[in-house]
Amino acid sequence: MVSDRRLGDKCVFQPFIVQRRQLRTVSAMGNKVFIIALVVALVAISLNNYLKRKGETRYIFHTEWYDPVSATVNKFHLSFFPRDRSVEMYDLRAQRLFLKRIPVEGVEERDLYLGNTIVVLSRQLKITDYADAFTREQITSKRQRTFAMVKPDAVHRLGEIVDVIQSRDFEISQMKMVQLTRLQAATFYREHEGRPFFESLLDYITSGPVVAMELITTNAVKKWRATLGPTDSQEARSIAPESIRALFGKDKQLNAGHGSDSDISAIREIEFFFPSSKINDDLLPQTTAKLANNTCGIIKPHAVSKGHIGSILKAIKEEEFDISALQIFRMDKVQSEEFLEVYKGVVSEYPVSEHCSCVPGSTGGCC
């Protein structure tokens, strides 16, 4: 009986010992991870406090760099110092300094917002998140997004409208010309469903192509609404004569443009035209490209960064070309090499680096 009881004790007790050891091991590993994360956070806070005492600002971001050789995604903390436009990189996987603080040409404070791509020493770094509360607070207050749309009656004056947008210090981070179906238009304007003007609004907005844009600046929603002017273009001409609706609109319905009325609306409307994930094709506005009797024109990154989009579009129109499709693209080195392959070794004025260069507001080869 004693022997059986001891055997039973062993059968029950031994797994308990193993389980406790496993728990201790897991707990120890968890503590190590927590301690490392805590140390990194404390170092960041201490450094920020030190820099504040010195009167120097430092922004920290989570970034990713895709290494095509090893086919891996490497994650870094990127620190940016506005005073001298220098950067520092910390390798999160190796837990060590990757790049000591150095000035980097082509990286500006206005380039630093979520989803954008910047080029640091030939590496294209995608900004995925803010690494501390200070950076989040400072950048989000300066880098608000809003949605803008040029309506069918004003698309033929797109170059002039873009000129106004860029002259008011908006950055155009995304833009494309699309043709809305009635279903898509009804989905986009669903808050107006049931109102007397709803059907006529759908008729109008589907009567021709529209140009959708994501704009970025300080207080973007409020500023874009002011730039648009009153809903009625005739009223706008008397109250806000320099507004877009006063300059390019006709009346209350044919009023040239649309703008989000709140932060929440801006997020929804940007996602509608520029979805962050794949959606039902029936709800995704389609390009207006005809792919017949046309040619391809590219506005290069350096022209985008200098705010020349509007003037170039106007020049194209003045030469009696019709712009049948338009979109902003961000090209990496591989895509640029593929696009320019036909010119390789033949024409020296088509360097790949020019199409993957860092451009403010639309970085990573925005064309």
Residues of the binding site for ATP: 151, 197, 225, 231, 245, 255
Binding site, residues?
151, 197, 225, 231, 245, 255
CA distance linking residue 149 with residue 211, whole number of Å: 6
The one catalytic residue among 192, 258, 302, 308 = 258
Report the side by side order of strands in the sheet with 123-130.
96-103, 86-91, 72-81, 59-67, 123-130, 117-120
Q: Strand 286-287 and strand 86-91: pairing? A: unpaired
CA distance linking residue 216 with residue 145, whole number of Å: 5
Which residue reads 């304007």 in tokens? 189
Residues ≥6 apart with Cβ < 8 Å to 303: 309, 312
Which residue reads 């590496």 in tokens? 123
Q: Catalytic: 258?
A: yes
Q: Which helix (H) or strand (E) holds 205?
A: helix 198-205
Helix, strand, coil shares of the chain, percent, nearest 5, are 45, 20, 35
Cα four-point dihedral sign 338, 342, 343, 345: positive
Q: Which helix (H) or strand (E) holds 91?
A: strand 86-91
- Are the C-beta atoms of residues 165 and 262 closer than 8 Å to each other? no
In eight-state DSSP terms, residue 261 is: S
**DSSP 3-state of 250:** coil
CA angle 186–191–192, rounded 5-degree value: 70
Positions marked active-site: 258
